[in-house]
Amino acid sequence: MTERLTTELSTYDTTSVTVRDRDLADEVMGELSFGGSVYLLWTGQAPTEGQARTVDAMLSSLMVHGRTPHALASRLTALSAPDSLQGAVASGLLGVGSQFVGSMQEAAAVLQELAGESDDERDDAVAAVVAEYRERGDPFPGIGHPFHEPVDPRAERLFEVAEAEGVAGDHIDLLRDVQAGFKAATGLDLPINITGAIAAVASDMGLSPEAARGLALVSRAAGLVAAVIEEGSRPLAVDVWDYAEEQTAYGGEEGLSKTGGGPARSRPCSSGRVPGSSAPGG
């Protein structure tokens, strides 16, 4: 190999660490918020105060949201491997996808494609997106929510922050156009959800669709760490395991009337508490 490998992200020597041409200790730590540091690292550009605050808002918005499948995955992995915090968090992050938490990547890709259309063609392009999703029978990933109505409060708050910080732009307007298109076509007044809002705001800030999902990964990692920590004092995993055993029927010919498992497990978890006596947690 004759060419050296290169990176623009970071370097170091015996006395310093450099991130995107900034001294980490002197110019990043204590000088930029975490959101601002993420923006700098991902884009190579120094964030404005408004950009930093908006990224902070996006990172805060997805930390936790109930007992979703990937949150349960982290708790169950922690039950199986209590000495592996990283393994438990990683198992949950693998579930940040198109069905839960990570749908902003697809939404951002569509919005950025729409933004590339000329002003004269945008209305037709939005109508084509609505028609395509309806023909496939798929929901648009940035619109609709199974619980929040009439609005997703996180989405509306993020739009407020983006507007106040001067980063709101065409992609938010396009998302609202898509929302209106679905309402006109179906009669359903579905809210813009937080992943749609992140897709639009991240796109307005010049971030790629992959970076939009990256915000979800960074945000949810914090929530999954919290879930694993709480599992030690307010466990859920054994109860979930017991419930699955009790409610799962064997489908073989000899066991159609039987349910699985045996008696509920009563061994203590690492905290010393007896599973089954705990209250649900985050």
Per-residue pLDDT in tens (0 to 9) along the chain, 282 residues: 678 899 999 999 999 999 999 999 999 999 999 999 999 999 999 999 999 999 999 999 999 877 888 889 999 999 999 999 999 999 999 988 777 777 899 999 999 999 999 989 999 999 999 999 999 998 899 998 767 678 899 999 999 999 999 999 999 999 999 999 999 999 989 999 999 999 999 999 999 999 999 999 999 999 999 999 999 888 888 888 888 889 988 888 765 555 555 555 544 333 333 333 222 223
User: Rounded CA gap, 195 and 209, in Å?
Assistant: 11
Question: Which pLDDT belongs to residue 255?
Answer: 57
The closest of 66, 62, 139, 58 to 96, measured between CA atoms, is 62
User: Rounded CA gap, 59 and 158, in Å?
Assistant: 11
Question: Which pLDDT belongs to residue 264?
Answer: 52
Q: Given CA atoms 279, 70, 214, 116 in this order, what sign does their dihedral have?
A: negative
The closest of 204, 202, 203, 182 to 191, measured between CA atoms, is 182
The closest of 135, 104, 127 to 174, measured between CA atoms, is 127
Helix (H) or strand (E) holding 12: strand 10-12
pTM score, whole prediction: 0.84
Which residue is associated with the tokens 């929901």? 139
218, 170 contact by CB (below 8 A): no
